[in-house]
Chains A and B, each alone.
With several copies, the nearest count.
Chain A
Amino acid sequence: MKPYDTFDCAVLQNRELAPGFFDLTVSCLQAAQTARAGQFAQLMVPGKTLRRPISICEIDRNQGTLRFVFGVRGGGTLQLSRLKAGDQVNLLAPLGNGFNLGDTSRRVLLAGGGIGVPPLLEAAKPFGKRAVLTAGFRSRDAVILKEDFEKLGCGVRIATDDGSFGHHGLVTDLVEDIPFDVVFACGPKPMLRAVAALAHRRGVPCFVSMEERMACGIGACLGCAIQLQGENGPYYGHVCKDGPVFPAETIVWEE
């Protein structure tokens, strides 16, 4: 079995979850068998030189489908947002290392910021009630996937930047009284950094999913560099191959 491959996939559904956020399900039998939580796919956008990296939000092995949730940022995601059921989209998948879920009897804190929330959904599945999602969004409008986590039995706490929903403030504000044994986090860098610091203070392992601009997505072009803490000092690893999920302590937060 190839570790990753390109696939022409039928779009089964694409709907606007919240203004500017899309929920795309494609049929991809092979990748659905091997994909793991936290991995990503590179989606081809006709006319664009580069594919777009999007995290896998859900994997349905039985149906052979992958779900992606993405926000419209620029021309590429705009084009992806226009995909309709019955269209084709080409995927390069599954890519990256994904979350090492480890012992799923542990209590997990899932910390997500905005469009960083989707990859946490598949990771939440084996934990169910033992998972708490703390998620931050811009505003009430931008809250996504809340019900999806609730359906899995996870605790869900929401913060918004403008206070229009849930807590008015930061994701990290929500964590104070939550007990957990491991953290999986995805979101903007400052948030990840704060979550990592918090986990560090509690002495709990923390894994963060990072972003970087990509070309190949498979480790060949060395485009998606990220500064990591090595034995002999900092060095450039690569998000697509060494990540996107890294132990928080290996990240060099400031260059």
Chain B
Amino acid sequence: MAELEVQIAGVSFKNPLIAASGTFGFGHEFQAFYPLSTLGGISCKGLTLEERPGNPPPRIAETPGGMLNSVGLQNPGVEHFIREDLPWLKRQGTGVIANIAGNTPEDYCAMAERLSEEPVDMIELNISCPNVKQGGAAFGTSCESAASITSAVRRHCKKPLMVKLSPNVADIGGIAAAVEDAGADAISMINTLTGMRIDIRTRRPILKNNTGGLSGPALLPVALRMVWQASSRVKIPIVGLGGISTWQDVVEMLLAGASAVQIGTVLFSDPYAPVKMLKGLETYLEENHVGSAAELTGRVRSW
């Protein structure tokens, strides 16, 4: 049997399938389908220092091959997570990644420091959320701001630090290199592309927030390209995500340069998708006589 376990920045995940932040809540709802230990890990819903109400509805719009969301980081705050969700999550036998977002660098640092005392396996820095300092532009869209927030958090973070990159940029490779230099232990990519839909009956944007984040299969080729580009610029491991919905997509993402993957939007149409992917991946490894999932990482032979 092929080895599915992978190591990301010193943390071992029993398989390379991790639930993507914001699509899996804190795991409670999905245990109806299978034990959470089925997954390599869970990246929890994005946390902020204080509770956040999120954006007004509608928050969801469908797009061809994808969807938009403008949930806006609705969450109960980091303390509530530590008190109410984390103890339970830790008992589920899966890797736990805390995904954090802030309005200010100080917020990020405070959360990283607080979570460093708790039994989370990894901290994922979401630097691609809207509504942050710098006149609304996200930290994740320039090398300088991405590097500065990473190094600030690095100083407060005792856990392995994974930085989650935004795809709304011209040079993803540059940003990946910048966060590596600034001390990131791993990179996860990609977050959502910004999109919009309009209701032609009401002539209003479908989302009350006007725009939202595009996720789902439509995103896959962009995510693959970006992971491939970033992986040639950094040595730290990359967790690939964006539109993965079949086991073949998982294999593609690993080949492109990812050491593990995150699974998001597909869970909404098929909550069992990770179970099917795991099976497909195992069969692929065996049929192709590949000893371990880790051996696929970056093994695309580019032209």
B219 to chain A, nearest CB (A): 11
Tell yes or no: B10 within 8 A of A by CB. no
Contact B30 A220 (CB under 8 A): yes
Interface centre among B54, B62, B74, B267 (most CB of A within 10 A): B62
A161 to chain B, nearest CB (A): 17
Contact B66 A49 (CB under 8 A): yes
Tell yes or no: A50 within 8 A of B by CB. yes
Tell yes or no: A219 within 8 A of B by CB. yes
**Nearest chain-B residue to A216 (Cβ)?**
B268
List A contacts of B59 (CB < 8 A). Answer: 213, 222-225
Dominant SS at the A interface? loop
Convert A204-231 into 0s and 1s, putting 1 for each residue whose CB lies closer than 8 angstroms to a CB of B. 0000000011111111111111110000
List A contacts of B268 (CB < 8 A). Answer: 49-51, 215-217, 221
A255 to B54, CA, bound (A): 14
On whether A225 and B271 interact (CB within 8 A), knowing A5-B33, A213-B60, A236-B53, the answer reads no
On whether A215 and B69 interact (CB within 8 A), knowing A220-B24, A222-B45, the answer reads yes
Q: Among B29, B71, B206, B216, which residue has its beta carbon within 8 angstroms of that of A218?
A: B29
Interface centre among B28, B30, B60, B272 (most CB of A within 10 A): B60
A220 to B42, CA, bound (A): 13
Tell yes or no: A180 within 8 A of B by CB. no
Contact B62 A223 (CB under 8 A): no
Q: Among A49, A213, A219, A235, which residue has its beta carbon within 8 angstroms of that of B265?
A: A49
On whether A220 and B29 interact (CB within 8 A), knowing A215-B67, A225-B59, the answer reads yes
Tell yes or no: B270 within 8 A of A by CB. yes
A10 to chain B, nearest CB (A): 19
Convert A30-74 into 0s and 1s, putting 1 for each residue whose CB lies closer than 8 angstroms to a CB of B. 000000000000001000111100000000000000000000000
On whether A222 and B54 interact (CB within 8 A), knowing A6-B270, A6-B272, A50-B268, the answer reads yes
**Nearest chain-A residue to B54 (Cβ)?**
A236
Tell yes or no: A201 within 8 A of B by CB. no
List A contacts of B270 (CB < 8 A). Answer: 6, 44
Q: Among B33, B56, B61, which residue has its beta carbon within 8 angstroms of that of A255?
A: B56
Q: Among A2, A6, A213, which residue has its beta carbon within 8 angstroms of that of B58?
A: A213
How many A-B residue pairs have C-beta atoms within 8 angstroms? Tell me: 104
A64 to B43, CA, bound (A): 38
The total of chain A residues at the interface (CB under 8 A) is 31
Convert A1-15 into 0s and 1s, putting 1 for each residue whose CB lies closer than 8 angstroms to a CB of B. 011111000000000
List A contacts of B206 (CB < 8 A). Answer: 213
Contact B61 A213 (CB under 8 A): yes
Tell yes or no: B32 within 8 A of A by CB. yes
Tell yes or no: B22 within 8 A of A by CB. yes
On whether A220 and B23 interact (CB within 8 A), knowing A2-B32, A3-B32, A50-B67, the answer reads yes
Tell yes or no: A92 within 8 A of B by CB. yes
Contact B57 A219 (CB under 8 A): no
Contact B65 A212 (CB under 8 A): no
A92 to B29, CA, bound (A): 13
Tell yes or no: B25 within 8 A of A by CB. yes
Q: Among A4, A44, A236, which residue has its beta carbon within 8 angstroms of that of B32?
A: A4
Interface centre among B29, B71, B217, B270 (most CB of A within 10 A): B29
Q: Among B55, B65, B71, which residue has its beta carbon within 8 angstroms of that of A49?
A: B65
Q: Among A217, A220, A221, which residue has its beta carbon within 8 angstroms of that of B69?
A: A221
Q: A49-B216, A213-B61, A221-B71 given; name 9 further pairs at CB < 8 Å.
A: A5-B32, A6-B272, A44-B270, A49-B269, A221-B25, A221-B268, A222-B54, A224-B57, A236-B53
> Which 7 A-B residue pairs are closest in the complex by CB-CB distance?
A220-B25, A213-B60, A223-B60, A220-B29, A218-B29, A225-B57, A215-B268
The 28 listed contacts between A and B (C-beta, < 8 Å) are A2-B33, A3-B32, A6-B270, A6-B271, A6-B272, A44-B269, A44-B270, A49-B66, A49-B265, A50-B60, A50-B268, A213-B57, A213-B59, A215-B69, A216-B23, A216-B268, A217-B268, A219-B28, A221-B25, A221-B60, A221-B69, A221-B71, A222-B74, A224-B57, A225-B56, A225-B71, A236-B53, A255-B56
